[in-house]
A and B are shown apart, each in its own frame.
Chain A
Amino acid sequence: AQSVSQHNHHVILSEAASLELGCNYSYGGTVNLFWYVQYPGQHLQLLLKYFSGDPLVKGIKGFEAEFIKSKFSFNLRKPSVQWSDTAEYFCAVFSLSNDYKLSFGAGTTVTVRA
């Protein structure tokens, strides 16, 4: 079955550490890629998105993601995390081959220790 995979279920790190969250998808053809974040007690909100062009995209709060087409990956990075980055992070993919449904990965819980 076609899917979106997030490799890490729970990541714990200290402030100022670098963060990288993996996301792989199995849909062929054109895809639109998203990372969403859900802070404790808050709505899901968009961190960044990729449609086309430069495969390195920058989002809010210092996050960036790199689309590697050959690896079907869209990994999220932040060079130096803060305690306020503690949240759940979701990778999501729109694909024509999936009838343009937005499919989410299982999510990665990130805990940043002060």
Chain B
Amino acid sequence: SAVISQKPSRDICQRGTSLTIQCQVDSQVTMMFWYRQQPGQSLTLIATANQGSEATYESGFVIDKFPISRPNLTFSTLTVSNLSPEDSSIYLCSVRQILGTEAFFGQGTRLTVV
């Protein structure tokens, strides 16, 4: 298993600003992902964070809005840019060690945009 720490756990941000969420894992992991969970909804994959290269984004998500960094095998950041109320969601970091095994999740970051 992996222990994942996300910061901040929650934040309230003004429209037009940005929030950067950090994800720290207690061990080196091959795969890291960022998900969004809108209120009352399931999890939607935003992107796969690739170490040393640009993230791979899912349909409907773009780098300008959700820039991602992954400088090493234990750390990643997700920035949600130019915030609007529609960005109010829970953002979750997830890791997998081996293909075909379970993914582990951080506790999430609850973002409210006002």
Partners in one complex: no
